[in-house]
A and B are shown apart, each in its own frame.
Chain A
């Protein structure tokens, strides 16, 4: 297995992880992982269930505390650059019966601008509505979030991340359980972010769309199983190594070759 070296310089990479180990109790979920995200590209984190994909993302954001490891963001420690990162959590991670409306959720993305007591002004609302517009949800601003479909919930989370005007977007399974129209809407937004020079990293579960959606892959199954551009790193061998016996051989070949 040959790994293509990431093209970007680790010192300036939007997200550079070295020696990251995360464990719940004494069971490591992510073990000694190095990752270097390429600037201005879209990277998919793939691996079987329970392989530590989401945990890797959460540790990179310091939502779960790693046991060891060093994380730099654009060459600086995470704490100094946290405002350049926007996070889109898994849809299922929150209670959708919470009393709040769509626009309020998007305005949460402006917390760093607003602070504790800053007043929500007209330009904040306009910005939040623009973000909703980008994900095709402008008509839903005043809806109670519990009335949304799964795909619409995911779009609201994406709009909240857009509101942050970040440079690096980290998404946890953005396409899980969403309808086809939403999947298209989300990928369009992500590609437009890339066109603006932003960097996108997404945990992804659907191997059949990796090739169409992403530039790079990062394969993980507790340990790093491969990293690099699709053409060199997303091969039957690497996918077989990552997923073990969970996928049939023919299936893997079909998924990883150009259609």
Chain B
């Protein structure tokens, strides 16, 4: 069943939803990365909640004019207008009052959402028969998606994606260093407004599939996932698009395999799965690899300290150090160094003494920043420099 769903073999509607969700995920992931890198992820949350009043008002207006209240394009236009109003309130509050952005986000988000819920209740009492499904925009609902809806979602998503990619250079410059971007002739405020407008467009496009409460996940999680895999912003954007698109595709396919599985939340959960996988497994920034790296480093330090203690004929107190030394064949079970242990210990002490001498040397002392307790001085200095150091050490022998 799942295999069939993944290969788009279980019906027309499921195929529409899957392709629509994949496009939405691709666009949301890539666009959201710019927001994520600008560190304004929560603004997207305020914007998406601010769509609700417009959604309800658009429904009322269309019904009042005798049309079908559930026309997707009409609802999108209404929610875009109210999201825009929310965005303007937010930027006015942060710029012209002393309110911090997080407080402004909280205020705008809750007020608009609350107002939207009031309107939604009014809609339900006004025309009980025809409002069916309006509240499904809170969490998305793909049942009964029309071909025209899917087309609208895909086309809208791709339009936003194209705009975001066209603006990628100024958007990234503003995200990295807004002051410098200003000196490069980029209007920082206008760029911030541009990215928020694109985010708003994604929210509106995604209303039908994931709903306004969860859309922020589709904007942020793919970017956070992609950050684990690359240290270059343009690649993070591409990877986020990939993760977003895959989440949309797989999530929609999974939800099509059984009746009653909600599409939007499953898409978000699939995205979260990618996130957790990356968090654990990423080679550079993952939890697992940094734990392994830390452990390897700790072992090296213990070994080194153990060798120095042997060379200075001091007792080794730490159990871990003793174990490491024994396992490397450097000491016998009774704590007496083996011949190899003796020579390694002497080498470690020599290295340590040279580092100490380097610190007090007039011309080489700058290199002492390379001393992390493990780097061999042979890797830092040339042979003649070492010979010079040794001459100085022998000239004034002291206990190190």
Residue positions of A touching B, CB distance < 8 A: 25, 58, 61-63, 82-83, 85-87, 89, 93-95, 98-101, 104-105, 108, 111-112, 114-117, 144, 146, 149, 160, 179-181
Chain A contact surface mostly: mixed
Q: Which residues of A contact B98 (CB under 8 A)?
A: 25
Q: Are B185 and A114 in contact (CB under 8 A)?
A: no
Compute how far the CA of A3 lies from the CA of B23 in the bound complex, rounded to whole angstroms: 67
Compute how far the CA of A114 lies from the CA of B284 in the bound complex, rounded to whole angstroms: 31
Compute how far the CA of A20 lies from the CA of B44 in the bound complex, rounded to whole angstroms: 37
Q: Which residues of A contact B169 (CB under 8 A)?
A: 111, 114-116
> B39, B176, B233, B235: which has the most chain A beta carbons within 10 Å?
B176
Can you name the residue of chain B whose Cβ is closest to the Cβ of A96?
B176
Assess A181 versus B366: contact at CB under 8 Å? Given A99-B37, A100-B233.
yes
Q: Is B190 an interface residue (CB 8 A)?
A: no
Residue in B177, B183, B233 whose beta carbon sits within 8 Å of that of A94 in the complex: B177
Q: Are A108 and B366 in contact (CB under 8 A)?
A: no
Residue in A58, A99, A111, A117 whose beta carbon sits within 8 Å of that of B233 in the complex: A99
Chain B nearest CB from A136 CB (Å) reads 13
Q: Which residues of A contact B166 (CB under 8 A)?
A: 116-117
Q: Which residues of B contact A115 (CB under 8 A)?
A: 169
Q: Are A89 and B176 in contact (CB under 8 A)?
A: no
Chain B contact surface mostly: helix
Q: Is B173 an interface residue (CB 8 A)?
A: yes
Chain A nearest CB from B184 CB (Å) reads 5
Q: Which residues of A contact B233 (CB under 8 A)?
A: 98-100, 104
Q: Is B92 an interface residue (CB 8 A)?
A: no
Compute how far the CA of A112 lies from the CA of B185 in the bound complex, rounded to whole angstroms: 8
Q: Which residues of A contact B175 (CB under 8 A)?
A: 98
Q: Which residues of A contact B167 (CB under 8 A)?
A: 116
Chain A nearest CB from B23 CB (Å) reads 23
> B39, B169, B172, B233: which has the most chain A beta carbons within 10 Å?
B169
Q: Are A104 and B366 in contact (CB under 8 A)?
A: no
Q: 8 new A-B pairs (CB below 8 Å) besides A94-B176, A101-B232?
A: A25-B98, A61-B183, A63-B182, A86-B183, A99-B230, A99-B235, A108-B177, A111-B173
Compute how far the CA of A126 lies from the CA of B113 in the bound complex, rounded to whole angstroms: 53
Chain A nearest CB from B94 CB (Å) reads 15
Can you name the residue of chain B whose Cβ is closest to the Cβ of A149?
B369
Chain B nearest CB from A43 CB (Å) reads 18
Q: Which residues of B contact A25 (CB under 8 A)?
A: 98
Q: Would you list the 4 A-B pairs with minimal beta carbon distance, nearest first? A: A144-B231, A87-B183, A111-B184, A63-B179
Q: Are B232 and A89 in contact (CB under 8 A)?
A: no
Q: Residues of B within 8 Å of A, CB-based: how many?
A: 28
Q: Is B297 an interface residue (CB 8 A)?
A: no
Q: Which residues of B contact A179 (CB under 8 A)?
A: 366, 369
Chain B nearest CB from A185 CB (Å) reads 12
Q: Is B227 an interface residue (CB 8 A)?
A: yes
Q: Are B186 and A100 in contact (CB under 8 A)?
A: no
Contact with A along B159-190 (1 / 0, CB 8 A): 00000001101101101110110111110000
Q: Are B179 and A99 in contact (CB under 8 A)?
A: no
Q: Which residues of B contact A104 (CB under 8 A)?
A: 232-233
Q: Are A108 and B185 in contact (CB under 8 A)?
A: no
Q: Is B236 an interface residue (CB 8 A)?
A: yes
Can you name the residue of chain A whose Cβ is closest to the Cβ of B37?
A98
Q: Are B232 and A99 in contact (CB under 8 A)?
A: yes
Q: Which residues of B contact A144 (CB under 8 A)?
A: 231
Can you name the residue of chain A whose Cβ is closest to the Cβ of B229?
A99
Q: Which residues of A contact B235 (CB under 8 A)?
A: 99
Q: Which residues of B contact A87 (CB under 8 A)?
A: 179-180, 183
Compute how far the CA of A70 lies from the CA of B132 in the bound complex, rounded to whole angstroms: 61
20 residue pairs from A and B, CB less than 8 Å apart: A58-B179, A61-B183, A82-B185, A89-B179, A99-B227, A99-B230, A99-B235, A100-B172, A105-B176, A108-B176, A108-B177, A111-B170, A111-B185, A112-B184, A116-B170, A117-B166, A146-B231, A149-B369, A179-B366, A180-B366
Q: Which residues of A contact B173 (CB under 8 A)?
A: 108, 111
Chain A nearest CB from B299 CB (Å) reads 23
Q: Which residues of B contact A86 (CB under 8 A)?
A: 183
Q: Which residues of A contact B185 (CB under 8 A)?
A: 82-83, 111-112
Chain A nearest CB from B286 CB (Å) reads 15
Q: Which residues of A contact B366 (CB under 8 A)?
A: 179-181
Compute how far the CA of A149 lies from the CA of B370 in the bound complex, rounded to whole angstroms: 12
Assess A93 versus B179: contact at CB under 8 Å? Given A83-B185, A108-B173, A112-B184.
yes
Compute how far the CA of A220 lies from the CA of B183 in the bound complex, rounded to whole angstroms: 23
Compute how far the CA of A85 lies from the CA of B235 in the bound complex, rounded to whole angstroms: 31
Residue in A63, A95, A99, A105 whose beta carbon sits within 8 Å of that of B183 in the complex: A63
Chain A nearest CB from B237 CB (Å) reads 10
Chain B nearest CB from A227 CB (Å) reads 24
Contact with A along B315-328 (1 / 0, CB 8 A): 00000000000000
Chain A nearest CB from B290 CB (Å) reads 14
Can you name the residue of chain A whose Cβ is closest to the Cβ of B178?
A63
Chain B nearest CB from A153 CB (Å) reads 12
Assess A89 versus B227: contact at CB under 8 Å? Given A98-B175, A111-B173, A116-B167.
no
